[in-house]
Amino acid sequence: MNLCEYEGCEREGRACYLPDDEREVAYHFCHEHAHIEGFCHGCGGFFAGVGDFDFDSSGLCDNCRGDLGEDFDDEDEDDFWEDDE
Ligand SMILES: [Zn+2]
Ligand SMILES: [Zn+2]
């Protein structure tokens, strides 16, 4: 396993990637420090300054937030089409 690279942190870190090379692992950070450093702890992508990522307490990018299905109360498309006769 890889430890979080944040100074003084001894948690396990996940691979984080910079946008200019998404195949090369740039850092390892735990979920907390990934967010601090601007990385999504779900996918490891760099999202600092993108949308509301910096301010979202989940620490997840839009994509990963969607995957979780939390707070994702979208319209049910089946209902939408039901009256269409
Ligand atoms: Zn850490
Ligand atoms: Zn993500």
Nearest-ligand number for the alpha carbon of 66: 2
pLDDT tens, 34-58?
A: 999 999 999 999 999 888 888 888 9
Span from the CA of 59 to the centroid of ligand 1 (angstroms): 13
Nearest-ligand number for the alpha carbon of 36: 1
Span from the CA of 66 to the centroid of ligand 1 (angstroms): 24
76 or 16: which carries more pLDDT confidence?
16
Residue ranges per structural domain of the chain = 14-72
User: What would the two tokens of residue 79 be?
Assistant: 């209902």
Give the model's pLDDT for residue 48.
92
User: Is the whole-model pTM more than 0.85?
Assistant: no
Residue 29 per-residue DSSP state: E
29, 6 contact by CB (below 8 A): yes
**Percentage of the chain with pLDDT > 90?**
54
CA distance 54 to 15: 19
Diameter of the chain by CA atoms? 64
Give the model's pLDDT for residue 18.
95
